[in-house]
Amino acid sequence: MNCPRKIMNADTETTGTDPSIHNIWQFSGRIHCPGKDVHEFNYKMRPFSMEHISEDALKVGKVTKEELAEFMPSKQAFEEISAIIKTYVDPYDKTDKMVFSGYQGNFDAKFARKFWFHHGDKFYGSLFEPYVYDGYGLARILRFYGIIPTTQNLKLTSVCEFFGIDLGEGAHDALADVIAYEKFIEICEDRYFNFTGDKKECNDTAFSEIK
């Protein structure tokens, strides 16, 4: 994918949909920085709290409570993920930040921010821009212009099927979802974005603020 600046394409699997009570149990990402190789990471962890775990979330993630309890401690995963990101971003430089990106990335970014907070780190905002590059916004734009039919739902699995992106058995595995999401972005860049020199023109509704 075209990366004019630092970006982390990420996905999480969580114990539910409410970041105030639910937690991350899988955090995967692929970090792109201009002039550097892609850095891929994939962590499965015991949730910060085992108290609130949605049965629906377990079904989606194809995991059991017993399996969750056996994963590495959340604190260890956090420390390793944080260290990876800090090799690319200087948290003391206000001009040096990474863009958080994902399909329905606002959901994941909210959980990521809470992940930092849970582990006593209040400096998430020193690492990441305040906006999220959300591929779901791109899918909505393509549907608006009739490229994706209005009858087509915009779940990642459906968008991948529409564009011939093979998810295999990986749907709702965070790393598989990240890789599929990048393939979708590459299709958007190759077919639908207009390039002028080294800059590309794109509709900024693909970007959304974290509220």
In the chain the domains, ranked by start, together with CATH numbers, are 7-194 (3.30.420.10)
Stretch among 123-127, 143-147, 191-195 having the lowest mean pLDDT: 191-195
The residues, any chain, with a CB within 8 Å of residue 194's CB and separated by 6 or more, are 200, 201
Burial 113-129 (b: 16+ CB within 10 A, else e): bbbbebeeeeebebbbb
Distance CA 93, CA 90 (A): 5
Tens-digit pLDDT profile for residues 177-205: 999 999 999 999 899 876 544 544 444 44
pLDDT (average), residues 72-87:
98
Look at the pTM and tell me if it is higher than 0.85: yes
| 59 token code pair | 């079904």
d(CA 12, CA 34): 24
| Residues 56, 57, 61, 65, CA torsion sign | negative
> Cα(first)–Cα(last) distance of the chain, in Å?
27
